[in-house]
Amino acid sequence: MIARNLLFSVRRMLLALGLVAVACCWLFSSPLEAAGLEPTPTPVLVPVSWGELATFPLLDRTDLPEQVADLLADLPLPVLLPADPELLDRAIVTRQDQWYAASIPSDGITIYLRGSRRAFAVEGLEMNPEAWERGYLLTRNQHIASLSFVAFQVGYLIEVECADPLGDPRCTEDDYILGLLGRLALVVNQVVARQPEVAGEPTPSLDSALPSPTGEPPELAVPAGGEP
């Protein structure tokens, strides 16, 4: 039963990972589409803007389960996970060269978190100012709360699925998923540790990195250029 549930979680993460690029595209609008023309997307590998590391608090690898820390050790993109010991202990993580995905079962809910450097460039695409006003896009599809945003030029997607989707305020209201956004922290893996903004700096403990659950989400700016 455990193996079957794990396989389902991994399949769910792999299937939904493709939504990262799609969800982040919702942050934009295309004049080609407005004109009735169909844009042609080109797959790209976006550069990471490492200069934005100060946007999030830091998580040391000792704050993670050992197998998760080892899995993410050399991933060449910023890994964001909730700075919550209980959620970190429950996290089921998978990854490939340029993306990661985490499934976190909790009391009556499952949290999905994904980040990917893979995106699609579309000629004529312009930023949607309404979507960027808050720095994220929050939607619901089949009663699953989904929040997409861009940080470090990387696309991220948080989803919250409830056992009682119509009665659980964690899915029907915005507070819980916004609280998750406000509690994300950056995992200091081997790649992050080499960045000038982090190298030589002490990594705070999980307790000191943990924001207030009711705190404001981090200020997410439209990212500038950076080096991979």
Q: What percentage of the chain exceeds 90 in pLDDT?
A: 49
Which token pair is 160? 């919250």
* 57 contacts: CB under 8 Å, gap ≥ 6: 83, 185, 186, 204, 209, 210, 211
Q: Is residue 6 in some structural domain?
A: yes
pLDDT tens-digit readout, 58-115 = 999 899 999 999 999 999 999 999 999 999 999 999 999 999 999 999 999 999 999 9
The answer to whether residue 30 is domain-embedded is yes
Distance CA 199, CA 202 (A): 8
Number of domains in the chain: 1
Residue 226 within a domain: no
Decide if 15 is inside a domain.
Answer: yes
Q: What is the pLDDT of residues 27-57, one digit of tens each?
A: 444 444 444 556 677 788 889 998 888 788 9
Q: Is the pLDDT of residue 7 over 60?
A: no
Most confident of the ranges 119-133, 163-177, 197-211: 163-177
Domain that holds residue 115: 2-209
The average confidence (pLDDT) of the chain is: 76
